Amino acid sequence: MSKIETHWESLSDEKWENLARNYLRCEETDYEDQDEDCLTWGQIVTRLGMWGSAESLWHFLRLTLSLAETDRQLGGIAAGPIEYLLGRFGPEYIDRVENEVAENPQFAAAIRLCNQYMMTDEVWARVQKLQAR
């Protein structure tokens, strides 16, 4: 099991929002056209996805979904925070995801854009049911 980074839990609401807004801004730019600033924001979110706690990922995921305005941003959330969360913590979080998808149209739209990535076959089967709705 990989080391869980704990510094995410100490971020202020302002820093979380700054991270989310910059991540979403950069999702609007093609990767090959991104400046150093966007590459850095992407690396920070990747680090959160790979080594952050489940609760930190869940918090970031819900925050970015609340701020997302475009389909491209929803695609970035699907390919980033959602796939990281369900790939690393899927068995523990799939019930929460199913409940959130039922109540949150942004989450429902984003989940349709997910790939299996590191999800177990059981979690992926449940995601596919959500995608079919």
Give the residue carrying structure tokens 């796939």.
83
In DSSP notation, 6-41 reads -GGGG--HHHHHHHHHHHHHHHTS-GGG--HHHHHH
Contacts of 107 (CB under 8 A, 6+ apart): 65, 97, 100, 101
What per-residue confidence (pLDDT) applies to 29?
Answer: 83
Cα dihedral 58, 53, 22, 27, rounded to 10, equals -70
Question: Tokens in use for 43?
Answer: 């690396």
What per-residue confidence (pLDDT) applies to 1?
Answer: 44
Over the chain (133 residues), the average pLDDT of each successive run of 10 is 79 96 91 83 94 96 97 96 97 97 97 96 98 94
- pTM strictly above 0.85: yes
What per-residue confidence (pLDDT) applies to 4?
Answer: 79
What per-residue confidence (pLDDT) applies to 30?
Answer: 78
